[in-house]
Structure 1
Amino acid sequence: MENNTFAFAGERFADLQMLRYCLNGFEQLSLQQKKYIYYLAKATLTGRDITTDQFGKYNLPIRKLLENVYLHFPGDRESKDFLAMTVYLKRVWFSNGIYHHYGCEKFQPDFSESWLRKAVDDTPFESLPGNYRSKQEMMDVLCPVIFDPNVLPKRVNQADGEDLVKTSACNYYEGVTQQEAEKYYEQLRRQAGGNEQPSFGLNSKLVKKGGKLVEERYTADGLYGEAIRKIVCWLDKAREVAENEQQRRVIALLTDYYRTGDLKLFDKYSIEWLRENEGDVDFINGFIEVYGDPLGLKGSWEGIVEYKDNVATERTRKIASNAQWFEDHSPVDPRFRKAKVKGVSAKVICAAMLGGDEYPSSAIGINLPNADWIRARYGSKSVTIGNLTEAYNQAAKGSGMNEEFVIDEETRALIRKYGDLCDDLHTDLHECLGHGSGQLLPGTSPDALKAYGSTIEEARADLFGLYYLADDKLVELGLTPDKEAYKSQYYHYMMNGLMTQLVRIKPGHVIEEAHMRNRALIARWCYAHGNGTVEMVKRDGKTYVRINDYQRLRQLFAELLAEIQRVKSEGDYETARQLVEEYGIKVDADLHKEVLERYRQLNIAPYKGFLNPKMIAVTDDHGEITDIRLDYSESYEEQMLRYSKEYATL
């Protein structure tokens, strides 16, 4: 496969389809840049076991158990149970554990417990995962977790009124209640005082020992130490071939943070990372996003290596260079705007390697750091991941989704003409400006919205992008070709929020994931408050979205953005709860049934994920690296088994 060949769809199983992404322009990078990417990629892949363990305390032994059976089972490998176990294992690989990567519900296996117990008895094990003393003990512990739907059923529970810590299976707390955890971190914030506090809890597990709460920090000599030491080793190698002195400074701060667990060092690293914009290569490596914690405090481990797409970056540069204009003209209360926007940088990048919580399912845009005070004082760095977006767009062509769900040919033509462009622009606006816009009022805790914080923040960024997508400023800047283009995104967004994202929900379930809740909240609020601006109409027995007034819809986005920003700035927990609970969670059973049936006939996998390229170091007779070769031929099974062998750390 040539380096410039475009991404294509690969293996499909369960509700998932694997895609390949290409490293366009990689061959034109210098040898030093390629080596830098190679070592950063190694650091990115080395944290895999950390993420799997964070997502559930039994995930790693279950994965290792199933891999051993898959590799060494001597029985009938074409039997229904073995094939069902293979699909289950592939889902475990994809989700970094036994819980759905999006809905967070536990997978229900299509093979029997009795079959698995016998398969384990018949299969040789070099060593038992999880330090179990016998196969019997191992199976007695793991089988209820795998087979009993009532044992640890949800990775992240967001149900209002329940103890979210006790009812979530994620491995961030042990023996702790929600009230205890919230009180513990509130005390830390009060003791620290000031407005420039570290992100308490980000890099630790909170456990109760001897009746006292203790943080077990993720450090080179602490929890996950074996994995972190290897990550640091690869980062040290990368530091030796970095493009500039600032990159070397950034890596040094990151490795010092990994060694000590000092969150103030993480803040220093984040600030210096923001200041590095000269090199073409960049990376994210660490405990970053908090969606996997029901309290929104603890970071899941992730890694991305990237290099700049200089041509596409011109688009985001125009947006970033006008950040102050967008902030000044935002429809929110002036009290909540930033008087001076600082340090906004944005670029379109090519992903070179994905790891941890960004693999195989990855974001297509990133805005960091997450600390509000750092954003306010130093700015933020935004990226749109162009080669992943292209892969998604390529996979969607000819799927039949628009033909089935878009109301008429006129609207479909609008989406065909402007859809990809406006999707990219909305992502750019969301990441480059939306997350970095606005400010908290003095004294407002960044964690005041608690379990609803992630949904509100994503809604805020989405609304910022939607509002400005229809602005004449984008035409003036040459980002949209005319005043009609935005309509493609408005229609697609409302259709998705009101209808088509329901294909990702099982019958009888509610919406759980923060991004999905955000889209439902926006679409349903506008539908409810628009007085006919948006309608749900029936044609030939099928439901469609119809937008009667696009400019009025823009005004609705503005009104909701103003309220969402107020909620965020003031830390209005009760209104956040009401908005999310009323508009973001519930599912209309009849509409859901209809959407699922129509979607089923299209035979499309609702979720996509990515296979990484295999990077091969070419060396001379002295062992010196002379090139980095890319191999795109590795299958999903081969890649996952190789990672489990080469990057086994826990």
Structure 2
Amino acid sequence: MEQVSKESPVIFDIILELYKICQGDWKSYGEKVEVDEEEITKFLQYAATFLHNLGNYFGKGDQKFNPRIPEEEFRKLVSGSKRAATLYESSWEAIYALAPACLGYPSESGQAQSRYYLAEDGADDFTKDEISAISKILHDQGINQENTRILKHLVGDIYEYIATQASTESSENPKLLGSITSNEAEYKILLRGGDHQQQLQKINSSLTEALAYCATDRQKLVLTKLIESFETGNMEAYKESQRHWVKDIQPSVENIFGFVEPYRDPAGVRAEFEGLVGLVDKEETKTLTTLAENSTTFIRLLPWTKGFTENDGKGPFEKELFEAPDFTSLHTLTYCSSIIFPGINLPNFNDIRQETGFKNVMIANSMSPPGGDSDSKQRRSSETIRVDPVVEETFQQHYQATFYLWVVFHELLGHGTGKLLTESSDGSFNFDKENPPINPVDQKPISSWYRPGETWTGLFRDIATTVDECRCEVVGAYFMGFPEILGLFGYKDEKECEEMEYNMYLQLGCAGLRALNNYIVEDKKWGQAHSRGHFAIMKILLSAGDGFLSIKEDLQAQTLTVSIDRTKIKTHGLPALSDFLLRLHMYRSIADEKGCREYYEELTSPSEEFLQWREMIIANKPAQELFVQDNTFLQDGEVILKEYGATLEGMIESWVDRDV
């Protein structure tokens, strides 16, 4: 929460304090402080939404949400606790403020802010050039930046920049890394440890206890290196833990900890902390393992392999060796993150992925079909985005199976494929430099590649994550057009496979429109990497022509109806996806950042019509579904699972019981 907003940790403490005061009897407490039941419900909605997103900005979209309970009623609510009242007094203005409205590069207008770049002591907000210059110095010094934040403050008339590493060890004397020049003045850049110190001390205490219960020596190495990285801030220790984690094949209990995903850093480098503990479902995992073991066969169907015979038919833009990764289906006990993803592919370090491997994890119990219960149906009936009523029933019938496979293919055959053409520091290349391969997009020899020290995220910066997620989403959708791969999951009937492929294109159209929820007009930016990718895919399908994908606007009903011409899937839909996928893949593979940025930024800039649709979509946006998680406790040596009701009150109680 410290990575989200200054007020987020305070709001968390207020919620927990009020629960402890009333012991979950919100109605009686409301009567005591003279807040009626309707306003109590508004507070509970805010509290549960906050806890689901772990901050007062939506995990999907990075946009701020404010309490619906009036400020004077919120003030009365906290009056029953001296501590809650004190906390509220320190932050009520920020809680109700309309700005910053989103997370992003700190802006002069005050519409965006970032807890990764903190201007203190009257210092001006960061500029993109400052952030880029500091990041370059850290990179040149060999410092991984995933667990860092940058502070900017005045020392007299001179700015100092301090890169803080998350660690339990603090630095009395920050290390001088270098300096940057701005306005003919030189500014120091220092490195200091101790960021998020108290939280990491608690985490390391629990991880140390967990060492006694590891099933294997490899699991002990994973945790030992995790502990070391959280102590010292050294990301090399963290990377070593990930090398061991990748080799821990199908454990009974799976875990993910650390500064993992860079979605919320506007520069696309610094990562949000997350933690996950899940139980592996052995039966569900069998089918995923079969897919992984047959991956090479399906990789040869990808568009960048066509026409090539070398590398076992996979061509020069695919890895020479694809070792089947661990691919497991989890039922998570705890997923601590601002977004609960349905699937995960880790680690994010390309050197580990190419040299050691990676893991795919499906979060099975986070998925639920839309319309699967009466609450979902009610939410859907008020949503702007629809499919043609004629196909609504079959759309719902095939939605969940199609969505599941989309995520499966995204993780394994999306994130798991592709080769980055690279020059090493010793002057060697992982491709034939003297006879460079032909780029299948323009049929010319490649002229760019990753130079020594360059990485995918470092070179492509803020667009790296969204371009890669878009590429992987297209891979997932692309493979829905191949019955042989669907057959591995038991879908043998030709008609059923056709329905699932048709369903996939409908989902792509709906997802592209729904993505507009996460476009931030004030800052002209996308608040979520996947959403930007979904919008790009929808634009590509709209441009396929001949009415393949169409969107019908009904202003009176406030609806946007998505239709797909199923007779044109093979002639328009699949070729459009294939061409788009090839283009994205080649930008990434040959390090063509300039070409990628020009193409992708234009593609994902919403027109005036889309912005008008965005207003309609937001006005009729259904309530966010919240994920209530259970807890475990030790009682007399036995592990007890405590379940909570799928209610606002249940969400709050589950967090109170965690005692964090």
TM-score (norm 2): 0.76
- Mapped to 1, the partners of 2:553 and 2:13 lie a distance apart of 50
Task: Identify if the C-alpha distance between structure 1 residues 387 and 646 changes in structure 2 by more than 3 Å, giving closer, same or farther.
Answer: closer
Letter in 2 for 1:566: M
Are 2:207 and 1:235 equivalent residues in the alignment? Answer: yes
- Do the aligned residues in 2 keep the contact of 1:414 with 1:488 (CA within 8 Å)? no
Are 2:258 and 1:289 equivalent residues in the alignment? Answer: no
Of 474-483 and 257-266, deviating more is: 474-483
Q: Which residue of 2 aligns with 1:144?
A: 93
Q: Secondary structure at the match of 2:219?
A: helix
Q: Quick one: percent identity of the two aligned structures?
A: 19
- Mapped to 2, the partners of 1:66 and 1:477 lie a distance apart of 47
Offset of 1:383 from its aligned partner? 1.0
Paired residue for 2:161, among 202, 209, 213? 213
- Do the aligned residues in 1 keep the contact of 2:630 with 2:641 (CA within 8 Å)? no
Are 2:560 and 1:546 equivalent residues in the alignment? Answer: no
- Do the aligned residues in 1 keep the contact of 2:344 with 2:361 (CA within 8 Å)? yes
Paired residue for 1:383, among 335, 353, 361? 361
- Mapped to 2, the partners of 1:446 and 1:413 lie a distance apart of 42
- Do the aligned residues in 2 keep the contact of 1:342 with 1:377 (CA within 8 Å)? no
- Do the aligned residues in 2 keep the contact of 1:244 with 1:279 (CA within 8 Å)? no
Paired residue for 2:146, among 182, 198, 202? 202
Paired residue for 1:610, among 627, 631, 634? 627
Offset of 1:510 from its aligned partner? 7.3
Are 2:318 and 1:337 equivalent residues in the alignment? Answer: yes
- Mapped to 1, the partners of 2:102 and 2:514 lie a distance apart of 24
Paired residue for 1:446, among 443, 456, 473? 456
Q: Which residue of 1 aligns with 2:47?
A: 89
Offset of 1:392 from its aligned partner? 6.3
Q: Which residue of 1 aligns with 2:137?
A: 187
Are 2:290 and 1:318 equivalent residues in the alignment? Answer: yes
Are 2:82 and 1:125 equivalent residues in the alignment? Answer: yes
Q: Secondary structure at the match of 1:283?
A: strand
- Mapped to 1, the partners of 2:241 and 2:204 lie a distance apart of 14
Offset of 1:449 from its aligned partner? 1.9
- Do the aligned residues in 2 keep the contact of 1:285 with 1:303 (CA within 8 Å)? yes
Letter in 2 for 1:370: N
Offset of 1:518 from its aligned partner? 0.8
Q: Which residue of 1 aligns with 2:310?
A: none
Task: Identify if the C-alpha distance between structure 1 residues 305 and 647 changes in structure 2 by more than 3 Å, giving closer, same or farther.
Answer: same
Paired residue for 2:346, among 352, 368, 371? 368
- Do the aligned residues in 2 keep the contact of 1:205 with 1:215 (CA within 8 Å)? yes
Q: Secondary structure at the match of 2:405?
A: helix
Offset of 1:114 from its aligned partner? 5.3
Q: Secondary structure at the match of 1:243?
A: coil
Q: Secondary structure at the match of 2:472?
A: helix
Task: Identify if the C-alpha distance between structure 1 residues 463 and 639 changes in structure 2 by more than 3 Å, giving closer, same or farther.
Answer: closer
- Mapped to 1, the partners of 2:394 and 2:60 lie a distance apart of 30
- Mapped to 1, the partners of 2:96 and 2:317 lie a distance apart of 50
- Mapped to 1, the partners of 2:645 and 2:380 lie a distance apart of 29
- Mapped to 1, the partners of 2:217 and 2:481 lie a distance apart of 41
Q: How many residues align?
A: 563
Deviation sequence 1:606-646 (CA, Å, 0-9, x none): x2221111323231xxxxx1343343348543553563575
Deviation sequence 1:382-437 (CA, Å, 0-9, x none): 0111122247674487558499822253x445434533222111110101221121
Are 2:305 and 1:305 equivalent residues in the alignment? Answer: no
Task: Identify if the C-alpha distance between structure 1 residues 503 and 215 changes in structure 2 by more than 3 Å, giving closer, same or farther.
Answer: closer
- Mapped to 1, the partners of 2:549 and 2:70 lie a distance apart of 48
Task: Identify if the C-alpha distance between structure 1 residues 644 and 476 changes in structure 2 by more than 3 Å, giving closer, same or farther.
Answer: closer
Task: Identify if the C-alpha distance between structure 1 residues 280 and 65 changes in structure 2 by more than 3 Å, giving closer, same or farther.
Answer: closer
- Mapped to 1, the partners of 2:251 and 2:657 lie a distance apart of 33
Letter in 1 for 2:635: V
Letter in 1 for 2:562: V
Paired residue for 1:573, among 593, 612, 630? 593
Q: Which residue of 2 aligns with 1:466?
A: 477
- Do the aligned residues in 1 keep the contact of 2:548 with 2:564 (CA within 8 Å)? yes
- Mapped to 2, the partners of 1:614 and 1:478 lie a distance apart of 32
Q: Secondary structure at the match of 1:454?
A: helix
Q: Which residue of 1 aligns with 2:410?
A: 430
Offset of 1:267 from its aligned partner? 0.9
Paired residue for 2:400, among 407, 420, 424? 420
Task: Identify if the C-alpha distance between structure 1 residues 312 and 488 changes in structure 2 by more than 3 Å, giving closer, same or farther.
Answer: farther
Q: Which residue of 2 aligns with 1:353?
A: 334
- Mapped to 1, the partners of 2:552 and 2:11 lie a distance apart of 47
Offset of 1:166 from its aligned partner? 8.4
Task: Identify if the C-alpha distance between structure 1 residues 239 and 77 changes in structure 2 by more than 3 Å, giving closer, same or farther.
Answer: same
Offset of 1:95 from its aligned partner? 2.4
Offset of 1:470 from its aligned partner? 0.9
Task: Identify if the C-alpha distance between structure 1 residues 313 and 229 changes in structure 2 by more than 3 Å, giving closer, same or farther.
Answer: same
Q: Which residue of 2 aligns with 1:588?
A: 610
Task: Identify if the C-alpha distance between structure 1 residues 488 and 574 changes in structure 2 by more than 3 Å, giving closer, same or farther.
Answer: same
Are 2:226 and 1:254 equivalent residues in the alignment? Answer: yes
Letter in 2 for 1:521: A
- Do the aligned residues in 1 keep the contact of 2:510 with 2:562 (CA within 8 Å)? no
Q: Secondary structure at the match of 1:94?
A: helix
Q: Secondary structure at the match of 1:499?
A: helix
Are 2:528 and 1:516 equivalent residues in the alignment? Answer: no
Of 343-352 and 451-460, deviating more is: 343-352
Paired residue for 2:8, among 39, 48, 59? 59
Offset of 1:440 from its aligned partner? 1.9
Task: Identify if the C-alpha distance between structure 1 residues 579 and 408 changes in structure 2 by more than 3 Å, giving closer, same or farther.
Answer: farther
- Do the aligned residues in 2 keep the contact of 1:455 with 1:580 (CA within 8 Å)? no
RMSD of Structure 2 on Structure 1 (CA)? 3.4
- Do the aligned residues in 1 keep the contact of 2:33 with 2:76 (CA within 8 Å)? no
Q: Which residue of 1 aligns with 2:311?
A: none
- Mapped to 2, the partners of 1:154 and 1:79 lie a distance apart of 31
Q: Which residue of 1 aligns with 2:644?
A: 632
Task: Identify if the C-alpha distance between structure 1 residues 341 and 129 changes in structure 2 by more than 3 Å, giving closer, same or farther.
Answer: farther
Q: Secondary structure at the match of 1:301?
A: strand
Q: Which residue of 1 aligns with 2:659?
A: 647
Q: Secondary structure at the match of 1:288?
A: strand
Q: Which residue of 1 aligns with 2:467?
A: 456
Letter in 2 for 1:452: I
- Structure 1 portions without partners, runs of 5+: 1-51, 131-137, 193-197, 620-624
Paired residue for 1:493, among 507, 510, 516? 507
Offset of 1:556 from its aligned partner? 0.9
Of 204-213 and 282-291, deviating more is: 204-213
Letter in 2 for 1:355: C
Offset of 1:535 from its aligned partner? 2.6
Letter in 2 for 1:229: Q
- Mapped to 1, the partners of 2:258 and 2:335 lie a distance apart of 13
Structure number with higher relative contact order (C-alpha < 8 Å, ≥ 6 residues apart): 1
- Mapped to 2, the partners of 1:450 and 1:364 lie a distance apart of 25
Which aligned pairs between 1:25-36 and structure 2 lie closer than 5 A? none
Offset of 1:366 from its aligned partner? 0.6
Q: Secondary structure at the match of 1:452?
A: helix
